[in-house]
Structure 1
């Protein structure tokens, strides 16, 4: 009897990485006293990194994520996909 084929998806790893980065950026913004949702929306709409604090490397981290990938992950999670 053969083992079932394991399905590997690079997208699952990418989604997890994006979620981890977004969580860290959210936390850094909150710790600095910003409204993280407003700041992240501003960044997503404008792609202007100054919306994100440099505290704890948050700005450098958020720039590692392609904006299209970020939006896809956010929509997938919001819609429960």
Structure 2
């Protein structure tokens, strides 16, 4: 019989954390490989929350669903600002 006075430990293996930037990179490339317009599809997903905008090719759909949509927008905006894309339009 098992000794009921001892506590057993159970450790769940967690998936390694993947950056939002990497998720967007994988999703973008998977969409392009399948012949979709990645920008349109990602925007559709962000606006609606409907994962069917994203292909399941290369696990893209399951990856993007692990990231909150506001985190996707935040990453996109940070990259846009970092690259100062609006300066090109003013010149």
Identify whether the pair has TM-score above 0.5, normalized to the shorter chain.
yes
Matched position secondary structure for 2:30? helix
Q: CA deviation at 1:80?
A: 1.4
| Structure number with larger C-alpha Rg | 2
Q: CA deviation at 1:26?
A: 0.5
CA distance in structure 2 between the partners assigned to 1:61 and 1:23 by the alignment? 11
Which is helix-richer, 1 or 2? 1
CA distance in structure 2 between the partners assigned to 1:27 and 1:45 by the alignment? 20
Q: CA RMSD in A?
A: 1.7
Q: How many residues align?
A: 67
Q: Where does the alignment leave 5 or more consecutive residues of structure 1 unmatched?
A: 1-13
Other-structure match for 1:34: 36
